[in-house]
Amino acid sequence: MSSGIRTTVPPVGSAQLTLRRLILYALLFALVVIAASGLSGLLERLFSTGAELASTDVAGLARALAFTLIGGPLAALLWWVVWKRLDDGAERSSVGWGLYLSAVYAVSLITSATAFLGLAASFIGQPEQRWYSPLSNGLVWAGIFIWHRWMWRHPLKGPGTLHDLPAVIGSVFGLVVGAVAAITALGGLLDVAIRGYISLTPGGDTWWQAVLRALVWAVGGSLVWWWHWHRGGGRKLDTALVDVALIAVGIFAAGITALGGAGVVIFVLLRTAFDRAEPMNELLSPLGPAIAAAAVGALVWRYHRVSGAERSVASRRAGRLVTSGVALAAAASGIGVVINASLAMAVSPLAGGGTRTLLLGGLSSLAVGGPAWWRAWRPTRPPQTADTIAPGRRVYLIAFFGISAVVALIALLVIGYRLFEFLLGEVTGGSLLDRTRAPLGLLVAAGLVAAYHFGLWRRERALLAAASPARERTIDHVTLVTASDPAPLSRAIHTATGARVAVWKRMDAAGTAQPAGAVPEPELAERVVAALGSVTAQNVLLVIGPADGQKARIDVIPLEGPARR
């Protein structure tokens, strides 16, 4: 027999559900790592030829057995529970499932790839004595990688969110490893070609062995990048995460590498022509790695600039702004260093090689960053209309103005500190100009950057203001009489007419005021603005009456000013 009382069971809160999922997947991640660690330890003992390791390292063997025989079944059981729950679409679309797959995918990929590449490189010149350690790690984590890649690509139970994260992780990891190793290999080869082979350790590796080991890493990293970017379809993913990775690594990091390498090349060439204070062999030591960094960085930079041209307009604009920012930082730092060195020469005309080297370094940075900034930013072709101003351009101007202003403020504080230190202390630490030349150069460079970007920001703000339609002000003052919440109505009236609004609370028919928090109907603000559209009086009385049917009544009463006597 029904009692007539309905009991409502409160649903499980979304915060509790999210927390439960995160704990579940974090526990599964920990168990997978524990089981992999134990299994790799057992494989290492299985691959070892002698029984000495197993007999002496009792604690290590016990730990490996515990991790494998306890952590492994628990991980399998928990995975089976999770896999069954993925039949629910909400579970597949949860952030926890995507984070778990991405985390294990990243750990297994990095661990297995570094283990196999390190093992392959160790056989060049110096065979790895403990080859079974990286081999066991590589095999176990490669199996986990294949397992989780299958789950990631599963058509029914793959992650509904963060589905692009594994592709981004693999592409970025492979690109970084391949580029760094390629710079190392090419730099070593060029260094031998420029300076000749010099062995600092008797009986050590020959030059070609070090180059081949770096080449193994370069080929391996490039394969990982190609597999995820091309074969895995990473370049076809049109997501914000892929755009951020492309800009941050392919343009920002590669641009810094290319510009830094080119700057060092010019610096070394200038020193060989004007500053031969060191032996030529030491002077040319950075040239090979710098050429390699400039070449590889420019190649990666160029590829991602071309690849970014096929993506969204926002991605292309962001890539151009990032390129401009990197080049501007190099040019501004060059200006600061040149001013610093010039002041040092002014203080002491017979300055030694240190000041000359500082000046050449500033000129090198300016020679590299200046043309690159000019090409990317195009200062001679600023926007002439509001329609040609890119959305991210004003953010870029504000960001650079803010950063350079902060740098200038810090430099000014340092100059003040040096000034008071010079006035209050004993005059034994050099002249005032010699003490303040470094922060003074930084202040001038940062001030120029801040002034330039602030001027551009003001000019473009004027263009945008001129392009916005001028609002004709026909009403000066509105007296609003309403019983509902007047805040949204007042904002709508002021936005539409620019008039000042005075609010009077209305009493209902019973003589009591309507609650202050009462919310007007959604269309009321639009109706009020439309009703005021044809009014040209300076003062208007606007009365929101009781609802007439389903809509409130609106009375607009134009008023004349007080009669003058």
Most confident of 27-31, 245-249, 355-359, 426-430: 27-31
Mean pLDDT of all residues in 33-41: 91
Whether residue 391 has pLDDT greater than 80:
no
Contact call for residues 477 and 540 (beta carbons, < 8 A): yes
For residue 215, the tally of other CB atoms under 10 A from its CB is 20
The model's pLDDT over 260-286, given as tens digits with 9 standing for 90+, comes to: 999 999 999 998 888 777 788 888 888
What are the structure tokens assigned to 491, written together?
């904002």
**Based on the number of CB atoms within 10 Å of its own CB, is 541 exposed (0-12), middle (13-18) or buried (19 or more)?**
middle
Whether residue 57 has pLDDT greater than 80:
no
Of the pLDDT bands very low, low, confident and very high (cuts 50, 70, 90), residue 126 is: low
Q: Order of strands, edge to edge, in the sheet holding 477-482?
A: 500-505, 477-482, 539-548, 551-559
| Alpha carbons 443 and 343: distance in angstroms, whole number | 13
Of the pLDDT bands very low, low, confident and very high (cuts 50, 70, 90), residue 532 is: confident
Whether residue 111 has pLDDT greater than 90:
yes
List the single range of 120-129, 214-223, 518-527 with lowest mean pLDDT: 518-527
Mean pLDDT of all residues in 336-351: 79
Q: Give residue 413's pLDDT.
A: 94
Q: Give residue 247's pLDDT.
A: 86
Q: Give residue 469's pLDDT.
A: 56
Q: Give residue 9's pLDDT.
A: 40
| Alpha carbons 480 and 556: distance in angstroms, whole number | 10
**Residue showing tokens 């590299």:** 368
Average pLDDT value for the chain? 81
Of the pLDDT bands very low, low, confident and very high (cuts 50, 70, 90), residue 127 is: low
Q: Give residue 511's pLDDT.
A: 39
| Alpha carbons 486 and 528: distance in angstroms, whole number | 12
Q: Give residue 10's pLDDT.
A: 41
Of the pLDDT bands very low, low, confident and very high (cuts 50, 70, 90), residue 246 is: confident
Contact call for residues 152 and 105 (beta carbons, < 8 A): yes
Q: Give residue 11's pLDDT.
A: 44
| Alpha carbons 499 and 477: distance in angstroms, whole number | 5
Q: What percent of the chain has pLDDT over 90?
A: 30
| Alpha carbons 181 and 262: distance in angstroms, whole number | 18
The model's pLDDT over 79-101, given as tens digits with 9 standing for 90+, comes to: 998 888 888 878 888 888 888 99
Tell me which of 389 and 35 has the higher pLDDT: 35
Q: Give residue 468's pLDDT.
A: 57
The model's pLDDT over 165-200, given as tens digits with 9 standing for 90+, comes to: 888 899 999 999 999 999 999 998 998 888 876 544
Of the pLDDT bands very low, low, confident and very high (cuts 50, 70, 90), residue 4 is: very low
CA 100-105-106 angle, 5° bins: 105
Whether residue 294 has pLDDT greater than 60:
yes
| Alpha carbons 328 and 335: distance in angstroms, whole number | 10
Whether residue 551 has pLDDT greater than 90:
no
The model's pTM is 0.74
The model's pLDDT over 148-167, given as tens digits with 9 standing for 90+, comes to: 999 888 888 888 788 788 88
Mean pLDDT of all residues in 18-44: 89
* Alpha helix ranges (H) inside 481-534: 486-497, 524-532
| Alpha carbons 225 and 168: distance in angstroms, whole number | 10
536: which DSSP letter?
-
What are the structure tokens assigned to 276, written together?
């031969």
Whether residue 221 has pLDDT greater than 90:
yes
Whether residue 244 has pLDDT greater than 90:
no
